[in-house]
């Protein structure tokens, strides 16, 4: 085998919370990218996919471990790598030509060389005639073409893509994916390997030679799927669908079993998924309507959403014990069936019992209120504790979710003006 173009060796990344403590985002990640292959990174929100991509791009420094381009350690952005962003990241006051030229200017390339390279990149990516247009004059698809041209004009060995098609409509994304694969198949194409972050499983199977699935809290490589299909690929083929199902299974295996079962969870080790009670209940109703079991790919496709959008609801249902997820299927538990069939008061009682027992932050608030004078606790107590394991925004989000769940279950109330969690409403 050829020597790897990119090597990620035991990379760990921590971010610092406001109290100065380290929050792990990536843990001991190892991977290699070799010439002639496209690799896709799949993972739930919070698995560190984009952070890993930025470490390889030299935009973020790892807390431990190393990332290398060939034999050189990556400590800053390099001419050997280029990145395409989800949000286009174009400078609105520059024309298409000027935006594409940015990377070459940063490298100090003479003007006469820049002009030829920019023209070639614009032609290659299908932007002829738009050289002097400004981003506001372009469609989303055309703006992303500018993003690709800006990345490819530096002729990088490694092309890094952070959900490059997710902001586009379906037909535009399909067209641009096809253009990229056409370029990849040309012998004159300078890029040796590509790494793409995506939450779209079908897209990963369509484009990649290998899929790396990341676990979360913190992010680590959970598994690898080798595709083994020639381009172009038929999404309707049996082998293609088997690979899609395999990826769904790997992503949706419940994180709340196995080795974790013997460890008492805390609000920081078992965070609450960002899911409302209405959202959880709505999804469970759909599963109940199909006999208590749903194929997750079919469920996501039927809702016209991607897996990343569905997974917080799946995680919340499995955390609470209302459903189990395995082998790409979501199955209602007995409690889940009772919850979907119950009247509102009974459903609230079921949710209260499960949330108190299985959602650590909800249980912690409930326990604190039992012993607090007047059954009242300031929200600052829990925010201070949560900040030890979360960023400020994430700590507030965790408390918001716990308040939503607790209110529905009638375990406690929250007075936003007084910033008090109470067993009963506060009357002014």
C-alpha dihedral sign at 69, 72, 76, 77 = negative
Q: Identify whether 232 is preceded by a cis peptide bond (ω within 30 of 0).
A: yes
Q: Are 382 and 361 within 8 A, CB to CB? A: yes
Q: Are 12 and 167 within 8 A, CB to CB? A: no
**pLDDT tens digits for range 120-129:** 888 888 888 8
The better pLDDT of the pair 46, 211 is held by 211
Q: Judging by DSSP bridges, how do beta strands 6-16 and 158-162 pair with one another?
A: unpaired
Angle, vertex CA 362, rays to CA 214 and CA 24, nearest 5: 30
- Kindly provide the residue ranges of all beta strands, DSSP E only, lying in 95-139, ordered along the sequence: none
Token pair belonging to 386: 């949560």
Cβ neighbours around 16 below 10 Å, total? 11
Please give the pLDDT value at position 420.
93
Q: Are 233 and 205 within 8 A, CB to CB? A: yes
Phi and psi torsions of 305, nearest 5°: -125, 165
Burial class of residue 116, CB neighbours in 10 A (0-12, 13-18, 19+): exposed
Cβ neighbours around 120 below 10 Å, total? 14
Does the pTM surpass 0.85? The reply is no
Q: What is the DSSP letter of 221?
A: E
Is the fold of 6-252 the same as that of 273-340? no
Give me the DSSP letters along 362-403. HHHHHHHHHHSGGGEEEHHHHHHHHTTTS-HHHHHHHHHHHH
Please give the pLDDT value at position 263.
54
Question: In the predicted model, is pLDDT for residue 154 greater than 50?
Answer: yes
Q: What is the CATH number of domain 6-252?
A: 3.40.50.300
Q: What is the mean pLDDT of residues 178-195?
A: 89
Please give the pLDDT value at position 426.
52
Token pair belonging to 265: 């969870």
Question: In the predicted model, is pLDDT for residue 390 greater than 90?
Answer: no
H helix count then E strand count, the chain: 15, 16
Helix (H) or strand (E) holding 217: none
Please give the pLDDT value at position 428.
43
Please give the pLDDT value at position 176.
86
Q: What is the mean pLDDT of residues 376-389?
A: 89
Mention every residue, 6+ apart, whose C-beta is less than 8 A from residue 400. Answer: none
- The residue written with tokens 């390339």 in the block is 109
Question: In the predicted model, is pLDDT for residue 427 greater than 50?
Answer: no
- Lowest mean per-residue pLDDT among 128-137, 171-180, 261-270, 343-352: 261-270
Please give the pLDDT value at position 56.
95
Three-state SS string across 13-35, please?
A: EEEECCCCCEEEEEEEEEEEECC
- Lowest mean per-residue pLDDT among 10-14, 254-258, 367-371: 254-258
273-340 folds as Arc Repressor Mutant, subunit A (1.10.10)
**pLDDT tens digits for range 163-181:** 888 877 878 888 888 888 9
Q: Per-domain residue ranges for the chain?
A: 6-252, 273-340, 359-422
């Amino acid at each position: 085998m050829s020597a790897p173009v990119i090597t990620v060796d035991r990379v760990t990344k921590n971010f610092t919370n406001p109290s100065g403590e380290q929050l792990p985002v990536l843990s001991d990640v190892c991977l290699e990218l070799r010439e002639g292959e496209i690799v896709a990174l799949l993972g739930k929100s919070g698995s560190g996919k984009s952070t890993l991509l930025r470490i390889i791009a030299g935009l973020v420094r790892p807390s431990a471990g190393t990332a290398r381009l060939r034999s050189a350690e990556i400590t800053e952005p390099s001419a050997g790598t280029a990145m395409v962003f989800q949000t286009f990241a174009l400078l609105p006051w520059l024309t298409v030509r000027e935006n594409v030229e940015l990377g070459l200017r940063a490298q100090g390339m003479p003007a006469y060389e820049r002009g030829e390279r920019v023209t070639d990149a614009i032609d290659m990516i299908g932007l002829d005639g738009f050289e002097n247009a400004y981003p506001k004059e372009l469609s989303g698809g055309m703006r992303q073409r500018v993003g690709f041209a800006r990345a490819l004009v530096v002729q990088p060995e490694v092309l890094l893509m952070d959900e490059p098609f997710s902001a586009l409509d379906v037909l535009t994304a399909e067209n641009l994916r096809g253009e990229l694969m056409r370029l990849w198949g040309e012998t004159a194409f300078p890029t040796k390997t590509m790494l793409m972050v995506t939450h779209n499983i079908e897209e990963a199977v369509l484009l990649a030679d290998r899929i790396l699935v990341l676990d979360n809290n913190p992010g680590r490589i959970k598994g690898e799927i080798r595709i083994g299909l020639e381009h172009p690929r038929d999404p309707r083929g049996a082998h293609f669908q088997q690979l899609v199902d395999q990826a769904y299974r790997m992503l949706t295996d419940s994180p709340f079993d196995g080795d974790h079962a013997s460890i008492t969870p805390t609000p920081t080790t078992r965070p609450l998924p960002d899911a409302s009670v209405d959202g959880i209940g709505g999804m469970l109703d759909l599963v109940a309507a199909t006999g208590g079991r749903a194929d997750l790919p079919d469920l996501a496709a039927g809702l016209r959403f991607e897996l990343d959008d569905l997974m917080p609801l799946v995680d919340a249902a499995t955390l609470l014990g209302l459903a189990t997820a395995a082998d790409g299927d979501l199955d209602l538990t007995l409690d889940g069936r009772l919850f979907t069939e119950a009247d509102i008061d009974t459903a609230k009682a079921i949710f209260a019992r499960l949330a108190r027992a299985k959602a650590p932050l909800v249980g912690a608030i409930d326990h604190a209120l039992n012993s607090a004078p007047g059954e009242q606790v300031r929200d600052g107590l829990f925010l201070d504790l949560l900040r030890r394991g979360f960023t400020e925004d994430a700590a507030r989000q965790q408390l918001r979710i716990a308040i939503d769940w607790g209110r529905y279950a009638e375990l406690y109330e929250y007075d936003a003006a007084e910033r008090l969690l109470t067993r009963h409403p506060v009357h002014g």
